[in-house]
């Protein structure tokens, strides 16, 4: 599961389109380092915690939000269970508008569920 998670992040840059990243001013702006090593980046996210086969945390910011996305892996008799948790702050009026657009609309929930399904599919192919 760890390899599938790392591959998914490297391949998708957790779904942050480079053009969109430029428009909203993500930090970090580009990919660098080797995923999932501490300090490695993809547009919009930097690895802030990395413990192989245990947890991985990505963090970033843009004009409307500061955010963190944490993945936790747990052993289970049926395989590995992967969970994801996100946290964000949406400062100011524009942040409030962005929160309404992304969080309150349900888009974030759908994106996270799709992300977990994609990672599970990648893990299943290994």
* CATH number, domain with residue 102: 3.30.530
Residue 56's domain spans which residues? Answer: 2-125
Into how many domains does the chain fold? Answer: 1
Strand residue runs (E) in the chain: 41-42, 45-51, 55-62, 65-76, 79-89
Question: What is the value of pTM for the model shown?
Answer: 0.88
Q: What is the pLDDT of residues 75-123, one digit of tens each?
A: 999 889 999 999 999 999 999 999 999 888 998 899 889 999 999 998 8
Q: Which two tokens stand for residue 57?
A: 């945390």
């Amino acid at each position: 599961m760890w390899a599938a998670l790392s591959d998914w992040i490297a391949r998708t840059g957790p779904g942050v389109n480079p053009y969109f990243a430029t428009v909203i001013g993500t930090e970090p702006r580009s990919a660098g380092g080797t995923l999932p090593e501490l300090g490695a980046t993809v547009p919009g996210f930097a690895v802030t915690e990395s413990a192989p086969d245990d947890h991985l945390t990505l963090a970033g910011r843009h004009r409307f939000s500061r955010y963190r996305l944490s993945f936790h892996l747990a052993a289970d008799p049926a395989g590995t269970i992967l969970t994801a948790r996100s946290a964000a702050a949406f400062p100011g009026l524009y942040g409030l508008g962005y929160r309404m657009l992304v969080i309150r609309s349900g888009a974030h929930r759908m994106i996270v569920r799709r992300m977990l399904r994609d990672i599970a599919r990648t893990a299943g192919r290994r």
